[in-house]
Copies of this chain bind each other. A is one copy, B any other.
């Protein structure tokens, strides 16, 4: 009996796994599946063009072939893919140029492109057509996947000379749907353009309407550098892996300096002091688990310069401002960019946040709108489990005069950029609830919120003063008459003097109030009771009722 069970023991390929669990790649639901395909192919196009230093031009066409049946064309102007890699790039899972590199990229798994080929084949039986213009040659090929082996099945159609470069992927899908909803392709590309102003994106919709998202910046953002890991966040296993794969048989001391960022000779000396029994002249490969563990502990005891910004390329404060103003022209807009931090594995990351309030946000009927991005890629799905959404939920918005976040005319953009984004699943639509990241997201939200609060409290104070002034003015006439008959002075004279007093009092108070407001003192670390914000004075509403 028990041995019967084990006759069933088998090994499976990762392609078979994702074929059976396509929902883990985001292929569940017709609208979502469509958006996921565009997402995977467009991010690949953007990564390829930027890496080659080319200003990205992305062309997406969606053609309706039948009910829930579409043809999709995604074309980039990148360098194309060499013949020897084309099949694997689109027909083998866990293959590609990105998985192992310490570099901020949109893709990071080597799964997405092949996942589209898989989904096309599963729903239509058709291979995916790839046209790769690379190094003067134009190769046209059909690509499918041998699921059992997780290997590409490639059929070359044509090879010809060309002067162009770039990759075009043409594929057919069923069980998908095109919709101009918040979860559709149009919205996905709109948000991509928002976070990537150097891209030109053209979308031809099924009704043949052409939507163009033109570039607003004529140069690519600076390239993120491929970096060395930062000592903070490195685990024992990571350290040993680096040591094991160290190719030159150097000393531990030089290995440390060459492997890690911010590791100067001085820092190695500090480590020597902390670890008097460690032999820093031994070969790194000889380091034991215990030694590596002690080393990691010592890393944590030293002070380090933060990881270099070079490795991280956020959207940028200016650009978030421009994009937000373009979309919403809000009454107030605050953008915050935090300094880079590290999390497990010594991986640098940083968070930028924009908060827009009132004005066009209210006019557009948006309330508590959240736009999530990771490495400039819009995240439209799985908001429930995402570190960004979860962090927004834990915010005490009342402290920032945003009582009911979901009822306020407020739009929040959060972009997390990282050398490795810890997605919750291979579908890459939600960020795992890593504590270090959630902390940074929270601090960034708090910083930006304080800016909004400043505006709101200034605005409220100005409104209160204007209201009081009106009420007081109302009694001036009456009081001036009464005082006149009591004192015998001219009523008009008394009235003028009273008005002068009022003007002096409220005019001064009113001035400059838009720049003040409470809750200023915070510096990123929130403490209970600090920056509590201005409470609405009791009775304010009744006062308002009198005059307005």
List A residues at the B interface (Cβ < 8 Å).
1-3, 5-6, 8-14, 16-17, 20-21, 23-24, 28-29, 51-53, 78-82, 85, 88-89, 92, 94-97, 99-101, 109-110, 121-125, 134-135, 165, 235-237, 240, 289, 292-293, 382-386, 389-390, 420, 422-426, 430, 432-435
Contacts and interface: CB of A to CB of B under 8 A. Distances in A.
Contacts of A5: 51-52, 79, 97
Contacts of A237: 121-123, 125
B95 A23 contact: no
A293 B9 CA distance: 32
Given A237-B122, A385-B430, A13 B94 contact: yes
B10 A425 contact: no
Contacts of A88: 9, 11
A11 B422 contact: no
30 contacts: A1-B79, A2-B78, A2-B134, A2-B135, A3-B135, A5-B52, A8-B97, A8-B100, A9-B88, A10-B96, A10-B99, A11-B94, A12-B95, A12-B99, A13-B94, A14-B14, A14-B94, A16-B99, A21-B423, A23-B422, A23-B432, A24-B423, A24-B426, A24-B432, A28-B422, A122-B237, A124-B289, A384-B390, A385-B430, A424-B424
A243 to B, nearest CB: 12
> What 4 A-B pairs are tightest by C-beta distance, nearest first?
A384-B384, A2-B79, A125-B289, A425-B425
A390 B11 CA distance: 34
Contacts of A384: 383-386, 389-390
Given A79-B5, A121-B237, A420 B11 contact: no
A12 B94 contact: yes
Contacts of A430: 385
A88 B8 CA distance: 13
Contacts of A121: 237
Copies in the complex: 2
Contact of A95 (B9, B78, B85): B9
B23 A434 contact: yes
Nearest to A432: B23
Contacts of A6: 81-82, 85, 97
Nearest to A96: B9
Contacts of A292: 125
Nearest to A425: B425
A247 to B, nearest CB: 16
Contacts of A424: 23-24, 382, 385, 424-425
B122 A235 contact: yes
A420 B20 contact: yes
A59 to B, nearest CB: 19
B3 A82 contact: yes
Nearest to A435: B29
A78 B6 CA distance: 13
A10 B122 contact: no
Given A8-B97, A9-B88, 17 more contacts: A2-B79, A2-B80, A2-B135, A9-B85, A9-B96, A10-B100, A16-B99, A17-B94, A21-B422, A23-B434, A29-B433, A121-B237, A122-B235, A122-B237, A123-B235, A385-B424, A385-B430
A9, A78, A125, A420 — which one has the most chain B CB atoms within 10 A of its CB?
A9
Given A5-B52, A29-B435, A425 B123 contact: no
Contact of A10 (B79, B95, B382, B435): B95
Nearest to A52: B2
Contacts of A17: 14, 94, 99, 109
A235 B68 CA distance: 14
Nearest to A226: B8
A136 to B, nearest CB: 11
Contacts of A94: 11-14, 16-17
A23 B424 CA distance: 6
Contacts of A386: 384
Contacts of A3: 82, 135
Contact of A99 (B20, B134, B385): B20
Contacts of A435: 29
Contacts of A165: 2
A16 B99 CA distance: 10
B236 A125 contact: yes
A95 to B, nearest CB: 5
A81 B122 CA distance: 35
A23 B390 CA distance: 16
Contacts of A109: 17, 21
Contacts of A99: 10, 12, 16-17, 20
